[in-house]
A and B are shown apart, each in its own frame.
Chain A
Amino acid sequence: MNRDAKSAPATVAEAESYIGTSVVRPQTKRLLAGRGVFTDDIKLPRMTHVAFLRSPHAHARIVSIDTAPAKAVPGVVAVVTGEELARVCEGWVGTLAHFAGMKSAKQYALAIGKATWQGEPVVAVVAESRAIAEDGVARVLVRWEPLPVVTDAETALDPATPVIHPDLGDNLAFKLELTSGDVDRAFREADAVYRETFWMGRHTGVTLEPRVILADFDPPEQCLTVYHSFQAPNMMQDILARHLRLPEHNVRVVCKDVGGSFGIKVHIYPDEMATCALAVMLGRPVKFLADRVESFLSDIHARDHRVTAEIGVKRDGTILGMRLDDLTGIGPYSVYPRTSAVEGNQTVRLTPSVYRFRDYAASLKVVLQNKTPMCQYRAVGHPIAFAVMEAMVDRVAREIGLDPVEVRRKNFVTRDMYPYTSPTGYFFERLSHEEALEKLLEISDYRALCAERDRLRSRGIYRGLGLCAFVELTTPGPAFYGVGGARISSQDGCTIKLEPSGKLVCMTGVTEQGQGTDTMLAQVVASAVGVPLEDVRVLTGDTLVSPYGGGTWASRGAGIGGEAALLAGKALKENILKVAAAVLACEPLDLDLRRGKIVDAATGEVRLDLAELGRIAYFRPDTLPKDFQSELAVTRHYVPRHQGFAFTNGIQLSHVEVDVDTGFVRLLGHWAVEDCGRIINPRLVDEQMRGAIAQGIGAALFEHCVYDAEGQLLNATLMDYLVPMAAEMPPIGVGHIETPTAFSEGGFKGAGEAGVAGAPGAVLNAVNDALAPFKARVTRQPITPEIVLKALGRLEER
């Protein structure tokens, strides 16, 4: 502080705002030095490790289990079956009450009676090391009776198909019919109706750090401390308390560094629940770390849709109406507590969002299968909705001979139409489709790329350009989960305390998984309070100390966590100025706090250092007026009350080259423009976009969980399951539009889903543009060379 005091000017002109600045994330120093603390890096005294015997069959009855040979392995601490564990850990059902008619079976931490997917955990072996635990797993003897499997979503509801959970009556988990306006009339009035079916493959998250959890139980205190690579610590705290029958305040969930999450680490996994239950059973720490094969078999899978779309249009390209039929396969259970129905629900509700037509009808069926459970992954439902919508828009342009840009301009919900409620009931406060499109065309030099594409075609080089406009659902309010009975918080809190040294410690319920939540919050807090950024330390991911909140998912960190931080920062500043006024015997209104100094509000003249204020408030309150009590730690909460979601929007362009002899698609460039409201840190938003685009590109071209007819996953390694690596990825240009929400003071909205929402549709349209000279068209994802060659007629359809 002394150094600051010497170098500080006598006056401070104005408060410094860090909002809108690309400051460097302070916590990267640690990560760049190899000093991150990921959950597997934590070691506790008397720690044990668990490995699971997983079902080798997609569907099989467990006839008998002999654990004795495993128990005999030196170093094995315990071998536990489903029945034994169920005495400690209650099962769960993944349904939401507001999804009328939704059903799923009760699921347990370890399978009881039968296994329903290949990879379902069946027996737990706890040992002194993971290697010994695996030795134990190899010695457990299970007698299986294989049962007929349900793999194909198309036939899952046929009377001839076995019912996975007989108590449910059939394999239908959820169905939904949506209608708005009169699609039949719209189609009658249309000059043309186009129909197309899309198959969007199953893929998965592939976080580089696999799922990992370390549970530590203290029997005398009945306290459970869980270190978890997770996105929603309070949700886990609640679930552990209820299912393990512990007092909630005795359960502490700590999320240190998280090595990637993307929605994968926000669900309840049987093996993680089993790990915690084993810690309670054994009264000593138990760690579970998934290996990569286990990750592929047990992390939630994503998407897996068959969508049939029909669109009715006028000759000038005006869209009159649309019909959608979505079939989604979700594995044997709807995943607790968010449910696997949200993916399809969001797909059918999001599809018409960008365009102004009102006549829309959608039908959704969510069916059970004997495959790894499917649930919510980054941009839930979005990439399917917009790939389908935008592929149909491009189809219209191509069939009628219109410019894809003009068809979009003609049909966009325009700036004069907001606020606007979509035909499926989503409320859009104000979006910027037209501005985003213009900016995209500019940053990509779209017209030049089109000219180059046309020029090269005559030389036998087939390039394509694909647009994909989208909306993005962020900042979910209480109507999302709360009304459905899921105990997932839509509010979040922020506590900020002033240390005697004048530095700030900020604790929040939203979490950090690499997005830069810590940095973004520090920027908001430093700006709101009026201190240098480096004087703010942010702590996330510890349920014992941080205010209750939902964590980080559905792009809620900035919109909810950021707003709570802004409110808390302003309140703390007010309290600091009250203390300063008491010290200086003046009115708080005469003072301001700028860059860590109490200044005269009118002149900026420095009156008091924050450290001096801290010293007086904490150590010498006797020098303050007798009736004055300082409050230098404040908490404020925020819940979005005024709209269901803070929707954002954007548009992407993909530029590809297709080798028509081999079917290979090469990405040449990718551009995105997004509007996430008021931007806190542009560089962080850029990188959210780029990372998400890579995931969307992965889905579009490479990633696929391939099953055989027996429900065996055929590519459960990183050698066989392709993910985009540096050489496959093109440079990605990002542009921003800022339309702050007026419903919160900060105006912040989310940015994490947008990249995934638009990339698959952009790539699909680009490939189809490249194939247009051949009158060929692909409608399957991932777009493998095989799919391209089949579309070109150069490879026989099977």
Chain B
Amino acid sequence: MRGPDMDSLEISLTVNGVPVRRRVEPRQSLVDFLRYELELTGSHVGCEHGACGACTVRVDGALVRGCLMLAVQADGCRVETIEGVAGRGEIFDLQQAFAEENALQCGFCTPGMLLTAHEILRQNPRADEMEIRKALSGNYCRCTGYHAIVEAVRKVGAARSGATR
């Protein structure tokens, strides 16, 4: 049995715009790395098999499941988490709409929901209810029944597409 230091690898990446260099075990998932090594606890772990979407983060601009990607695979990548995206004000309108519609209860799915919602609207701000529901279907929420989430996303989409027209 080798100790963790012996088989760890060094990785360099940018997380929320900050350069990060760490030695990690090859088996560590990206979300565990973000949560436990960097203490960015906004991304959550719900299922560890890619079904629930609570660990959603952005890697080089694309949404990924933080539980299905290893930290070592993010070597050289640009990773953005809810802390970074929200901190920059990029999803201010979505956050506000989620609060107003009460589109969250316990808040555990919320970071993943917000990142996914933002991506849905980036691809199609005019997405209708059914399109939003389908696109949100990789994100599990046990509290809301999704109704308010869909409403919030739809309203922000309408506002964003109105603004870009």
How many angstroms between the C-alpha atoms of A728 and B47 in the bound complex? 20
B163 part of interface (Cβ distance < 8 Å): no
A32 part of interface (Cβ distance < 8 Å): yes
How many angstroms between the C-alpha atoms of A210 and B41 in the bound complex? 15
Task: Map CB proximity to A onto B140-152 as digits: 1 under 8 Å, 0 otherwise.
Answer: 1111111111100
- With A75-B4, A206-B142 already in contact, the answer to whether A24 and B108 are too (CB < 8 A) is no
Task: Map CB proximity to B onto A19-47 as digits: 1 under 8 Å, 0 otherwise.
Answer: 00000110011111111111011010000
The A683-712 residues at the B interface (CB cut-off 8 A) are 683-684, 686-687, 690-695
The B38-64 residues at the A interface (CB cut-off 8 A) are 39-49, 51-52, 54
Residues of A in contact, count (CB < 8 Å): 65
Which residue in A32, A74, A132 is a CB contact (below 8 Å) of B98? A32
How many angstroms between the C-alpha atoms of A32 and B137 in the bound complex? 20
- B106 engages A717 (CB within 8 Å): no
CB B50 to nearest CB in A, in angstroms, measures 8
CB A207 to nearest CB in B, in angstroms, measures 6
A contact patch SS: loop
B114 part of interface (Cβ distance < 8 Å): yes
Whose C-beta in chain A lies nearest to the C-beta of B148? A687
Task: Give the size range of B's interface with the partner.
Answer: 35 or more
- B105 engages A515 (CB within 8 Å): yes
How many angstroms between the C-alpha atoms of A44 and B110 in the bound complex? 25
Residues of B within 8 A of A732 (CB): 145, 147
How many angstroms between the C-alpha atoms of A753 and B81 in the bound complex? 35
How many angstroms between the C-alpha atoms of A316 and B26 in the bound complex? 72
Which residue in B1, B102, B109, B142 is a CB contact (below 8 Å) of A687? B102
Q: Which of A72, A208, A257, A694 has the most CB of B within 10 A?
A: A208
B95 part of interface (Cβ distance < 8 Å): yes
Which residue in B48, B52, B107 is a CB contact (below 8 Å) of A31? B107
- B3 engages A694 (CB within 8 Å): no
- B106 engages A32 (CB within 8 Å): no
- With A718-B52, A725-B140, A727-B134 already in contact, the answer to whether A258 and B106 are too (CB < 8 A) is yes
- B107 engages A32 (CB within 8 Å): yes
B155 part of interface (Cβ distance < 8 Å): no
Whose C-beta in chain A lies nearest to the C-beta of B99? A28
Whose C-beta in chain B lies nearest to the C-beta of A289? B45
B133 part of interface (Cβ distance < 8 Å): yes
A260 part of interface (Cβ distance < 8 Å): yes
CB B140 to nearest CB in A, in angstroms, measures 6
Task: Map CB proximity to B onto A711-740 as digits: 1 under 8 Å, 0 otherwise.
Answer: 000000111000111111101100000000
Residues of A within 8 A of B54 (CB): 208
- A36 engages B107 (CB within 8 Å): yes
9 closest Cβ contacts across the A-B interface?
A34-B42, A31-B107, A259-B108, A514-B105, A514-B106, A34-B82, A694-B145, A718-B51, A690-B145
Give chain A's interface residues, CB within 8 Å of chain B.
Answer: 24-25, 28-38, 40-41, 43, 72-75, 129, 131-132, 135, 205-210, 257-262, 291-292, 513-516, 683-684, 686-687, 690-695, 717-719, 723-729, 731-732, 755
Taking A135-B1, A514-B143 as given, write out 12 further A-B residue pairs in contact, using a Cβ cutoff of 8 Å, ordered by the A residue number: A25-B99, A38-B44, A74-B3, A131-B27, A209-B106, A292-B49, A694-B142, A718-B46, A723-B140, A724-B146, A725-B136, A729-B146
9 inter-chain pairs at a CB distance below 8 angstroms, sorted by A residue, are A31-B107, A34-B40, A41-B41, A207-B106, A209-B108, A262-B142, A726-B137, A731-B147, A731-B150
Give chain B's interface residues, CB within 8 Å of chain A.
Answer: 1, 3-4, 25, 27-28, 35-36, 39-49, 51-52, 54, 81-83, 86-87, 95, 98-100, 102, 104-111, 114, 129-130, 132-134, 136-150
